[in-house]
Structure 1
Amino acid sequence: MTLYYTLVFLLLVLEMAIFVGLIVPLPFTWKRKLFAFISESPIIAKLQYGMKITFIFILILFIDSVNRVYRVQIELSAYSKDATGAGASALGSERMEVQARKFYSQRNMYLCGFTLFLSLILNRTYTMILEILRLEDRVKQYEGNTKAGGKDSARIAAAGDMGEIGRLRKELAAREKDLDALRRQSEGLSREYNELSDKYTKDHLDNTPKKDR
C-alpha cells in the first residue's frame, strides 16, 4: 500500500473513532459543553477546513481507482478471451498479474469510497446532534427550567429575545399596543358621536316651533 493510501486508511480509522465518540451516550450537560467547544473552537474550525481539502484529494483518488478498476477489468476480459488452447499456459502468469492489479485497484476504490461515505455520515450525525441539543434546550425553556438557557446553550443556539419565545412575546406586546390604540380611538369616536348627537338634538329642539312640540 502506497503512502497516500496508508494515510487514507488512517483517516478512515480516525473517522470511525470520531463516529463512536459521537454516538456514545453522555449526560446532557457534558454533551452540550462538548459541542459548544467544538462549534466555537478556532482550532477545530481550521481542522475542518483542512479536512475539506483532504476529502477533495480523496475524491480524486476515488475517481482514479474507479478508472483503474474499469481498465483492469477490460484487460482481464481480453486475457480470458486469448487464454485458449496452447496459449493458456503462456498467459497464465500475466493473467495472475492482472488479477493482482484488479484486487489492489478494488481495494483502493473501496477504501476511498468508504472514507468519503463515512465523512458524509459524520457531518450529518454532527448536525443532527446539534439540532437535538437545540430542541432539548427549547423544551426545557418551555417547561420553565431557568437553568436550561445557560452560557453553553446560548452558544449552541441563539436563545432569548431572538428565539421563538422572544418573538412571540414581541408579537403579543405589539398586538396589545394595537388593541389599546383601537380602544382609545373607539372611545374618542363614541364621545364625539355622543356630543354631535346631543348637539343635533338640541339644535333640532331649538328650531322646532313650540306648537309642534
Structure 2
Amino acid sequence: MTLYYSIVFGLLVFEMVLFMTLIVPMPFTWKRKLFTLISDSKWVAKLQYYIKITFVFILILFIDSVNRVYRVQVELAQASKNQNGAGAAVIGGSERMEVQARKFYSQRNMYLCGFTLFLSLILNRTYTMILDVLRLEEENKILKGEESADGKNATKLANAGDLGEVGKLRKQLEKKDRDIETLKKQSQGLSDEYNRLGDQVSGNSESTPKKDRDPRISLRKQI
C-alpha cells in the first residue's frame, strides 16, 4: 500500500473511532460539555479545515481508482474475447494473474476511498443531529422549570440550534406574535375611542330640548 493510501486508511480508522465516541452512551452533562468544547475549540476548527482539504484529495483518489477498475475490467473482457477467438494467442497464466492483481488493488483502493468519504458524511450528519437533540433537551428542561446546571453552555447550544431552519422559523414566529400584540393594542384603542364618541353623541341627543327637535321627526313617528 502506497503512502497516500496508508494515510487514507489511517483517516478511515480515525473516523470509525470518532463515530463510536459520538454514539457511545454518556450522561447528558458530560455530552453537553464535550460538544460545547468541540464547538468552541479553535484547534478543532483548524483541524476541520485541513480535513476538508484532505477529503478533496481523497475524492480525486476515489475517481482515479474507479477509472482504474474500469480500465482493468475492459482489459479482462478484451483478453477473454481474444482467448475465445479462433487462432488467437492464449493469455498466459502469469499475465492473467498480473491483471487480476491490478484489479484487486484497484477495487481495494476504490472501496477504501469510498468508505472514507461516505463515513465523513455520516459523521457530519450525526454531529448535527446530536447538537439538535442536546438543544431540544435543554429547552425541554427550561420549559419544565428546571434550572440549567450551566447557563452559558445552554445559551451556546441554543445559539447553535438557531443557526438552522428551526431558528429562522422561531424568529419569524416571534415577529408575528409582536405584530399581533401591536394590532390588538391598536384595536383596543380604536374600540375605546368609538365607545367614547358613541357615549358623547348619545348624551348630546338626550340633552337637546323637545322644542328644538325637528317637527318632521315627530310627524314620522306619528305616522
Return the TM-score normalized by structure 2: 0.80
Letter in structure 2 aligned against 1:95:
R
Offset of residue 140 of structure 1: 1.0
CA distance in 2, matches of 1:171, 1:201: 45
Structure 1 residue aligned with 2:27 = 27
Q: Which residue of 1 aligns with 2:198?
A: 193
Give unmatched runs, 5+ long, in structure 1.
none
Q: CA deviation at 1:138?
A: 1.3
1:59 aligned to 2:59? yes
Distance 1:188 1:52, change over 3 A: same
TM-score by length of 1: 0.84
Q: Is the 8 A contact 1:140 1:148 kept in 2?
A: no
Q: Deviations over 1:52-89 (max 9, x none)?
A: 1110100000000000001011111222233368943x
Q: Against the structure 1 CA distance between its residues 167 and 86, is the aligned structure 2 distance closer, same or farther, given a 3 Å change threshold?
A: closer
More off after superposition, 112-121 vs 169-178: 169-178
Q: C-alpha deviations, 1:188-209, integer Å up to 9, x for none?
A: 3323222222222332524159
- Indicate whether 1:42 and 2:47 are aligned: no
Inter-partner Cα distance in structure 2 for 1:99 and 1:169: 65
Q: Could you list the runs of 5+ residues in structure 2 that have no partner in the other structure?
A: 161-166, 219-223
Partner in structure 2 of residue 205 of structure 1: 210
Matching of residue 150 in structure 1 with residue 151 in structure 2:
yes
**By how many angstroms is 1:44 displaced?**
0.7
Following superposition of structure 1 onto structure 2, how do residues 3-18 of structure 1 map, counting pairs within 5 Å? 3-18=3-18
% identical aligned pairs? 57
Aligned length: 206
Higher relative contact order at CA 8 Å, sep ≥6: structure 1 or structure 2?
A: 1
Match of 2:135 in 1: 134
Q: Is the 8 A contact 2:76 2:99 kept in 1?
A: yes
From the superposition, tell whether residues 35 and 173 of structure 1 become closer, same or farther in structure 2 (CA, over 3 Å). same
- Give the Cα–Cα distance (whole angstroms) in 2 for the partners of residues 121 and 9 of structure 1: 17
Deviation at 1:109, TM superposition (A): 0.5
RMSD of aligned Cα (Å) = 2.9
Q: Classify the secondary structure of the residue corresponding to 2:210.
A: helix
